[in-house]
A and B are shown apart, each in its own frame.
Chain A
Amino acid sequence: MRYLPQTEQSVRHMLGVVGVERIEDLFRDIPEALRATAALDLPTGLSELDAVRRLTELADRNSGATALSFLGAGAYSHFVPAAVDNILQRAEFYSAYTPYQPEVSQGTLQAIFEFQSMVAMLLGLDVANASMYDGASAVAEAALMALRMQRKRERLLVARSLHPQYREVLATYLQGIADAEVVEIGFGADGRLDRAALAAELDDNAAAVIVGTPNFFGVIEDVAAISEVAAQQGVLTITATSEAMSLAAVRSPGDCGADIAVAEGQSLGVPVSYGGPGVGLFAARDRYVRSLPGRLVGQAVDSDGRRGFVLTLATREQHIRRERATSNICTNQGLIALAVTVYLSLFGKQGLRRLARQNLALAHRARDLVCAGSWQPRFDAPFFNEFAIRGPDARAALRRAADSGVVAGVELGRWYPELDDSLLVAVTEVHADADIETLAEVLR
């Protein structure tokens, strides 16, 4: 077996040192009755060539991966410069673990420190953690953090337009947590949060309002207005951004008054990969730092005064605080955080903004083209690179597009019965002008 280096000769020698005769004797502490009675019922191992054959066969049956697609809804196809993946393939990064020994983990630690800095900048807040699993669990952790900080308050005001899967994950995380109640806040005719409905629910028992921006319909929320009324009642504002690219074009959540901002970072250098791995971005105001979930890297000095980086404020965490930890998270999405860091370093201040504006322009052009025919914009509030359109028969239109080999979007009716006449379409820089014309054509 190519992954196992021990020779038969070594094995014999080692058994002698250990003082047993056969390998099986090493397991004599397992009572006979508890041992497996038969060999594992799995096929014999494959050579690398045969394994590649099988994997290629499976990959080739995912025809959706190569089709012209306008799918978004929480995962976005963007171009990733080759340098990002090349650095990710450095085994020094991918085969290390959590940097428990900082002196031989400065590569990982410094990269995370840079990641935390960039995430805080993007989200417009003071401090960011070393990553969460994804945007959805980041929302759940933000909600739990808000409940911790607002001890006497039990209600979470959650936008109905927040990504449906994020809401589902939040509901799961809250199972069994006493003193937590989710109140759904609907959306108005323009696709934005129904501010009157929000105002009616803001009181001294509300811990936080949680709103997606852009929301699930691609619509950009007026976070400044929301956070202003929320703050008047002592309610925290939490934003969730599933298309992180938008952060380069849209005023940041922190700048709009959000107390905690989370995002799914997949758009920034990570392939869609059937939905994972991505990475949860999590940032907050400075004064909440000791309530943050997850790992934090901080600057330190060594015995000779040299700068270095360490895991810090660990007393919040499960390996120290156990059942009183701020979260149960241990392993997070380290390597994906690195991908985001490399990606952001390459695009940088100018490139990111330009790329976001490309997305903005292409998506608006696409909506105009599609809506020149039988479709209409479903909502008229501002959007970034994803939009909802309404037409005579959304399902039939998707089918017709599929017959032409185009995955034109998703039906909003899957999650919102009241929007069963609508499609959700995402357009990014990977779409050429011709692709957008094709989209308009197949939806005609």
Chain B
Amino acid sequence: MSGPSRDKQAGLLLDEPLIFERNRPGQMGVDVAEVEADGLLPAELERAELEGMPEVSEPEVVRHFLRLSQWNLSAATTFYPLGSCTMKYNPIANEAAARMPGFAGLHPMTPDGLAQGALELMAELQDMLAEISGMDAVSLQPAAGAQGELAGMKMIRAYHEDRGDPRRRVLIPASAHGTNPASAALCGYEVAQLDGNAQGVVEPDAVRRAMSSEVAALMITNPNTLGIFEREIAQVAEIVHQQGGLVYLDGANLNALMGVAKPGHIGADVLHFNLHKTFSTPHGGGGPGAGPVGVRQVLADYLPNPRIVRRDDAWAWSSDAPKSIGRVRSFFGNFGMFVRAYAFIKALGGDGLTRATQMAVLNANYVRARLQDTYHLAVPGLCMHECVLTDRNLEGTGIKTLDVAKRLLDYGFYAPTIYFPLVVSGALMIEPTESESLETLDEFIAAMEAIAVEAAEDPDAIHAAPVRTPVGRLDEAKAARKPVLRWRADDSAGG
């Protein structure tokens, strides 16, 4: 046997098989007594065996998952400038708060009288989100941003139907997140795409042309996905409103606006919040998120049920809202995320949230200013909380946005969002958030500059990237052609 190779068998690059491949028949990671339960279920309903489930002791299970954790870059360990995702610091104190037994151990069917603290926390969080956004009423129920969109669009549909004026179309800018058209379609709407101007900004004339009495709503993101504030938002909203339409604001980029501008005061009728973006509840490797919806008074009747009310000097749940769209989720939403968002807002206060927005915008502009000559900037001028660069200046080197992203991994940074928004060719969308220091940004900028130099002088090194990761570039096309989506006991996933 040879000694440790460089090939992920040693040092900090530890190999780790699937948990099923650690299987040792007879092992268990818990001690559970066998009890007499024969005959309680009829034989034809009884499960024979949990075929394929792992048999592994506790230390091995713990080692397995700790090793897996070390194969992730994360916002806590690394600058993670994933655009439109607001990868800010997730305070440890929030994690502790959500785990308080009074919160984590509270059953959702608990009588209201025995859950007053949870209800008050939720009521207060609703009020704080309303204040931040300038909306009149908030429901915390949707489980994530996309479900917030769904709830918002269902409310818009209910509003129009209630007025005897059902409409069939929704306007959505080409730069929008894919969830916008998908959510509109889930509400039975046809989607009409709006092209922005050269800055990706929606212009009143374009809206005027597309607007008609058939249009239920405009869905718009502000700042948009190019990191640019939609300057004409007030006029655009007025055009939509004049023809009886409503304005849906995608709140994914709210981190640019706290204390600076309130969507509810500049034309939005309904918006969703992403608590996992703006309000620091962790992204969890892809959830759980939370996507509360805020509305202006005109839509308040349609908010999901149940709602929190004040009755006889106590908090209570009420479903006494006949025009409500009903439920989008079981129980009350991702409550554990509400505790974290509440803790975050309480920790920062009004001034702190405003300062967070200012620092997020400053950080984005600093990165933009430092890199706009090396890389091509999609939209000249100031940006908000994120900036969009492109690979245009690398033309002729054979290096593209994807290669830049992969090489950044070798430099110890997560990659920006790439090839989005779709309206920008070769986009690199960078959102630093308020959580990063000047020193970290300078390191990132140095890496981006070094990659640009490498592109000209040693493009092969970039094509080979990443090399300092547990695996190299993975063949996604092949994976999709013959998908292997699970391990099987009889037919090991191979290796």
Query: B64 near A: Cβ within 8 Å?
Result: yes
Give 24 pairs: A residue, B residue, CB < 8 Å, sorted on A.
Answer: A28-B382, A40-B258, A40-B351, A42-B349, A51-B93, A58-B102, A92-B74, A93-B74, A95-B90, A96-B284, A102-B474, A106-B68, A133-B329, A176-B189, A250-B47, A273-B103, A274-B332, A274-B335, A278-B330, A279-B288, A329-B146, A334-B283, A346-B61, A349-B55
The segment out of A122-130, A182-190, A372-380 that lies at the interface is: A122-130
A110 to B145, Cβ gap below 8 A?
no
Query: B316 near A: Cβ within 8 Å?
Result: no
Cβ contact of B282, chosen from A17, A271, A335, cutoff 8 A? A335
Instruction: Given contacts A166-B330, A274-B106, A300-B475, list 17 more A-B pairs with CB under 8 A.
Output: A14-B366, A41-B131, A58-B102, A59-B117, A62-B106, A66-B105, A96-B80, A137-B143, A173-B328, A249-B46, A273-B98, A273-B103, A276-B329, A319-B177, A345-B61, A358-B35, A361-B35
Cβ contact of A34, chosen from B47, B266, B485, cutoff 8 A? B266
B residues in contact with A118, CB < 8 Å: 53
Known A64-B106, A354-B35; judge A325-B285 contact (CB<8 A). Answer: no
Query: B400 near A: Cβ within 8 Å?
Result: no
Query: B69 near A: Cβ within 8 Å?
Result: yes
What CA separation (Å) do A275 and B143 show in the bound complex? 11
Known A64-B110, A106-B471; judge A14-B20 contact (CB<8 A). Answer: no
A313 to B480, Cβ gap below 8 A?
yes
Cβ contact of A331, chosen from B101, B144, B356, B470, cutoff 8 A? B144
Query: A289 near B: Cβ within 8 Å?
Result: yes
A residues in contact with B282, CB < 8 Å: 91, 94-95, 335
CB distance from A252 to the nearest CB of B (A): 6
Encode B303-330 as 1/0 by CB contact (under 8 A) with A: 0100000000000000000000111111
A127 to B329, Cβ gap below 8 A?
no
B486 to A26, Cβ gap below 8 A?
no
What CA separation (Å) do A344 and B260 show in the bound complex? 47
B179 to A43, Cβ gap below 8 A?
no
A40 to B131, Cβ gap below 8 A?
yes
Query: A257 near B: Cβ within 8 Å?
Result: no
CB distance from B53 to the nearest CB of A (A): 4
Encode A86-111 as 1/0 by CB contact (under 8 A) with B: 11011111111111111111111011
A97 to B283, Cβ gap below 8 A?
yes
CB distance from B279 to the nearest CB of A (A): 12
Query: A299 near B: Cβ within 8 Å?
Result: yes
A248 to B47, Cβ gap below 8 A?
yes
B480 to A298, Cβ gap below 8 A?
yes
Give the top 4 A-B pairs by smallest Cβ distance, nearest first: A275-B331, A59-B102, A275-B108, A335-B284
CB distance from B335 to the nearest CB of A (A): 4
Cβ contact of B143, chosen from A134, A304, A310, cutoff 8 A? A134
Query: B333 near A: Cβ within 8 Å?
Result: yes
Q: What is the interface of chain B mostly: helix, strand, loop, or mixed?
A: loop
CB distance from A304 to the nearest CB of B (A): 6
Query: B12 near A: Cβ within 8 Å?
Result: no
8 A Cβ contacts from B254-313 to A? 258-262, 265-266, 276, 280, 282-289, 304
A345 to B108, Cβ gap below 8 A?
no
Known A73-B109, A302-B472, A332-B287; judge A39-B259 contact (CB<8 A). Answer: yes
The segment out of A5-13, A152-160, A196-204, A231-239 that lies at the interface is: A5-13
What CA separation (Å) do A281 and B184 show in the bound complex? 25
B76 to A92, Cβ gap below 8 A?
yes
Cβ contact of B480, chosen from A273, A312, A360, cutoff 8 A? A312
B479 to A312, Cβ gap below 8 A?
yes
B327 to A168, Cβ gap below 8 A?
yes
Cβ contact of A51, chosen from B75, B260, B283, B346, cutoff 8 A? B346
The segment out of B26-34, B202-210, B388-396, B453-461 that lies at the interface is: B26-34
B181 to A348, Cβ gap below 8 A?
no
CB distance from B309 to the nearest CB of A (A): 17
Encode B77-118 as 1/0 by CB contact (under 8 A) with A: 100101001010111010111111111111111110011111
B114 to A360, Cβ gap below 8 A?
no
B residues in contact with A97, CB < 8 Å: 75, 80, 82, 85, 87, 283, 285-286
What CA separation (Å) do A382 and B45 show in the bound complex? 9
Task: Tally chain B residues at the interface, Cβ within 8 Å.
Answer: 207
B residues in contact with A218, CB < 8 Å: none
Query: A438 near B: Cβ within 8 Å?
Result: no
Cβ contact of B353, chosen from A42, A255, A307, cutoff 8 A? A42
B261 to A328, Cβ gap below 8 A?
no
Encode A353-373 as 1/0 by CB contact (under 8 A) with B: 111011011001000000000
A residues in contact with B143, CB < 8 Å: 133-134, 137, 276-277, 333
Nearest-CB residue, chain B, relative to A336: B288
8 A Cβ contacts from A53-101 to B? 54-67, 69, 71-75, 77, 81, 83, 85-87, 89-101
What CA separation (Å) do A250 and B19 show in the bound complex? 24
Query: A30 near B: Cβ within 8 Å?
Result: yes
A51 to B382, Cβ gap below 8 A?
no
Query: B242 near A: Cβ within 8 Å?
Result: no
What CA separation (Å) do A128 and B77 show in the bound complex? 31
A residues in contact with B145, CB < 8 Å: 330-331
B472 to A306, Cβ gap below 8 A?
yes
CB distance from A344 to the nearest CB of B (A): 7
CB distance from A162 to the nearest CB of B (A): 12
Query: A317 near B: Cβ within 8 Å?
Result: yes
B107 to A40, Cβ gap below 8 A?
no
CB distance from B465 to the nearest CB of A (A): 9
A residues in contact with B77, CB < 8 Å: 91-92, 95
B471 to A62, Cβ gap below 8 A?
no
Encode B2-39 as 1/0 by CB contact (under 8 A) with A: 00000010000000101110000011111011111100
A residues in contact with B378, CB < 8 Å: none
B residues in contact with A46, CB < 8 Å: 346-347, 349
Known A6-B437, A302-B473, A348-B27; judge A168-B326 contact (CB<8 A). Answer: yes
Nearest-CB residue, chain B, relative to A429: B32
Nearest-CB residue, chain A, relative to B64: A345
8 A Cβ contacts from A214-237 to B? 220, 222, 224
Known A55-B339, A114-B19; judge A382-B42 contact (CB<8 A). Answer: yes
A58 to B111, Cβ gap below 8 A?
no
Query: A417 near B: Cβ within 8 Å?
Result: no
A131 to B483, Cβ gap below 8 A?
no
Known A29-B231, A62-B106, A121-B52; judge A116-B485 contact (CB<8 A). Answer: yes
Cβ contact of B102, chosen from A66, A272, A342, A402, cutoff 8 A? A66
8 A Cβ contacts from B331-348 to A? 331-337, 339, 342-343, 345-348
A173 to B40, Cβ gap below 8 A?
no
